[in-house]
Amino acid sequence: MTQKILANRLHHTAYVTKDLEATRAFYEDMLGFPLIATYCEKDELFGKERIYCHVFFELADGSALAFFQFADPDDQAEFGPEMPDSPFTHVALDVDADAQAEIERRIAAAGFAEPDTYVLEHGYCRSVYIKDPNGMLLEFTHDDPRAAPLDAERRASARGELKRWLAGQYHNNNPFRAEHAA
């Protein structure tokens, strides 16, 4: 029996930024994600009145990337910890091949270079990575068309593969990698 997925799509992800204008310029001017909402608010949050601004940058499916900035430096320090400097903590966005090429063009035109941007060929997808002004890593990924036919197999084996890995059997199961051993 297949259980109904209750969430329709991602509504938004939210992060704290130290510089809303630099964040706006990156997402709206460079990447072309329109600023669709700015909420300037004052609320009783976590035991204290706080003044903050919350902005949303739209993606094609109607979801958004959102950012907060606080008026009070103490609130900013409390809620605005540094982004983790890890390539494994990132937001991955699905793009088609043309959009990925355009993003790469915009990244180059803006003067970004390694280590703030790089490309990884995962086999089942190609990913372009870039750090935003907050240090958050974004991934723009385009799936390899050869991966789609494997989707049903991946879904059927997902729990078994996780169980195998958790039991210490770490062999590679990515058929797009040369080191894959069936």
Q: What percent of the chain has pLDDT over 70?
A: 97
pLDDT band (50, 70, 90) for residue 63:
very high
Higher pLDDT among residues 170 and 35, named by residue: 35
Please work out, in degrees rounded to the nearest 5, the angle formed at the alpha carbon of residue 156 by the alpha carbons of 151 and 162. 105
The pLDDT, as a whole number, for residue 70 is 95
Residue 101 has pLDDT above 80, yes or no: yes
The pLDDT, as a whole number, for residue 182 is 47
The pLDDT, as a whole number, for residue 172 is 85
The string of pLDDT tens digits covering residues 124-143 is: 899 999 999 999 999 999 99
The pLDDT, as a whole number, for residue 36 is 95
All domains of the chain in start order, with CATH: 1-81 (3.10.180.10)
The pLDDT, as a whole number, for residue 180 is 56
Task: Give the whole-angstrom CA distance, residue 29 versus residue 15.
Answer: 19
90-95-100-106 Cα dihedral, nearest 10 degrees = -70
